[in-house]
Amino acid sequence: MFELAEMAVIEEIKREVERRRTFAIISHPDAGKTTLTEKLLLYSGAIELAGAVKARKKQRHATSDWLEMEQSRGISITSTALQFDYQGCRFNLLDTPGHQDFSEDTYRTLMAVDSAVMVLDGAKGIEPQTKKLFDVCRMRHIPILIFINKMDQPGRPPLDLLDEIEKVLGMGAVPKNWPIGEGPDFQGVYDLEQKQVLRFQRTVRGQQRAPVWVGEIDDPQFAEEIGGPAYRQLCEDVALLAGAGFSFERERFLKGEVAPVYFGSAIHNFGVEPFLAGLKELAPPWGPDEQPRPGRARDRGLLRIHL
């Protein structure tokens, strides 16, 4: 029989485990993992001013590229573990290097996480290193969330990107939000579940949170302000998506069979907060594996000591 004090400790441990979200950010080099990491820190309140991967003289560098060589070259070389709290959850985030020379480090990191964030460049889609890392995730049945980044640059039509995820990765892709405007005219995202428009404003070098207007798609002022072509495209896409019958099943997500997809621009802080909210809602806490994950349990303990 457990004593009362022991029971309280066990309950406390259970609560602490429940509120943890341990995930890695993975992708082909340069898709924007470190930039997104920095913006997740900004939106969680862990930092007040976001740094840049390639910082100017007196500007802050991105928190997770802390090695001098990373700062001078503007690439990530090692995985960096960062911890922050957001709305009662404790996030353990591992920003990984994309370059294949350092991929051993990324593979090891993937043994220790409960989910992965896959960052895609909206113009490039699935690149070779992304595919390789995806294969590792699939082998380990790691649930994946997708952030399609760099929507502020001319890119591919969002439906093409979803199609590519399904065809190349063989995984279902369910959009949670949808881009408003494209390339330099990218203005925000439409939340497909809440049926809400989130229209962001840029800030100087994206160092601070982007002011956001939240409203209805049929608000005449919104329609006027975003301009005719962007508005028509958004309405057409939303109607098309409603008819396409996308449905997100949590069980399939947890098995790594289907991924929720979010759009945004990490550099301008567009779509970062909805993505952070999605992570909180969907990324699973640690739990007994439903399916065996090769190589996982042994390494997990070791890494957790440091987190």
Q: Which of 21, 23, 30, 34 binds Mg ion (CB under 5 A)?
A: 34
Which residue has its beta carbon closest to ligand GTP? 98
Residue type, 28: H
What whole-number distance in Å separates Cα of residue 241 and Cα of residue 258? 17
Q: Check residue 76 for interaction with Mg ion (CB under 5 A).
A: yes
Binding mask 220-259 for Mg ion (x = CB under 5 A): ----------------------------------------
In the complex with ligand GTP, which residue's Cβ is closer, 32 or 274? 32
Chain position carrying tokens 């390339």:
183
Helix (H, G, I), strand (E, B) or coil at 302: helix
Q: At 25, give phi and psi (nearest 5°).
A: -105, 120
Answer yes or no: are the C-beta atoms of 94 and 113 closer than 8 Å: yes
Nearest distance from C-beta of residue 220 to ligand GTP, angstroms: 30
Judge residue 187's burial from the number of C-beta atoms within 10 Å of its C-beta, 0-12 exposed, 13-18 middle, 19 or more buried.
buried
Chain position carrying tokens 């909206």:
122
- CB proximity list for 219: less than 8 A, separation 6 or greater: 197
In the complex with ligand GTP, which residue's Cβ is closer, 271 or 278? 271
In the complex with ligand GTP, which residue's Cβ is closer, 99 or 300? 99
Nearest distance from C-beta of residue 157 to Mg ion, angstroms: 27
Which residues bind to ligand GTP, rule: CB under 6 A?
A: 27, 29-35, 53-54, 75-76, 97-99, 149-150, 152-153, 265-267
Among ligand GTP, Mg ion, none, what binds residue 35 when CB lies within 5 to 8 Å by partner kind?
A: ligand GTP
Residues in contact with Mg ion by CB under 5 A are: 33-34, 76
